[in-house]
Amino acid sequence: MTRKLEGKIALISGSGRGIGRAIALKLAADGARIVVNDLDEAPAEETVAAIRDAGGEAVACPGSVTAPDFAERFVGTATQTYGGLDILVNNAGYTWDNVIQKMSDEQWYAMIDCHLTAPFRILRAAQPVIRALAKAETEAGRRIVRKVVNISSVAGLFGNAGQINYSAAKAGITGVTKTLAKEWGRLNVTVNCVAYGLIRTRLTGNSADQGTERIDGRDIKVGVNPDLLAAMERTIPLGRGGTPEEAAGAVYLFCIPESDYVSGETLLCSGGLTGI
């Protein structure tokens, strides 16, 4: 049976670990060739190795998505290695929480830079490549639909106490999604968004087991208090947090041909949670 993403070229930011890794493995298993990114080289190479061990194709492009030169390097890795791009998933991210009166400018801009500015730059860098490919395909009488999937959060849709920076950035990416769906429709590109609820990763696990992570040169406290985590899960109609593999499934829906006429939409992947 032909795989639905056979030969497609997919760029996935933040795909060395967690949800991003699950997305990379999911798309690769369906035939896509993957450009893997992670802040650190080792996790990126581990994901590449896992894809290759399973018979797929992948290449690593490590580095911070907030670096000024990252977007061009990320897109360039796809074009130089595979000759184009078909799927772009803006997934990289983390949280750095505080209430507004205690939040520093550094915390504010860290979230805006990672979750909003970085996707903007990546999409801007991708536009000339996509435009040239679409023009050549039109002249040849062919129509190929490309896919952009941006990652948001229930915090961006409903707000979340202690996360004004993260919520603002994640709300912003839904605006990017809707605008770009209008700009890029003529290029046969669908642009959609997945808003996650509680997904169990190293960043949202039990705080007693986690501590801090070194992220972009900063020591960021990660994990959630176990009592709070249990309370959060009780508010979810399905009664639990999602797995990275389930999170990847929502992105996959926007990447396959069955969604070729769906654009400008935000899909909640939250176990039935429709508010915070």
Contact criterion met (CB below 8 Å) for 44 and 37: yes
Tally the C-alpha atoms within 13 A of residue 40's C-alpha that lie toward its C-beta: 9
Q: What residues contact 41, with CB distance under 8 A and at least 6 apart?
A: 60, 62
> Which candidate in 82, 94, 109, 166 is catalytic?
166
Give backbone dihedrals phi and psi of 163, rounded to 5 degrees, phi first: -135, 45
Helix ranges (DSSP H) in the chain: 18-29, 41-53, 70-82, 105-112, 118-139, 154-158, 164-184, 207-210, 226-234, 244-255
Known catalytic membership, residue 94: no
- Give the CB-side neighbour count of residue 194, counting CA atoms within 13 A: 28
The residues annotated with a catalytic role in the active site are 166
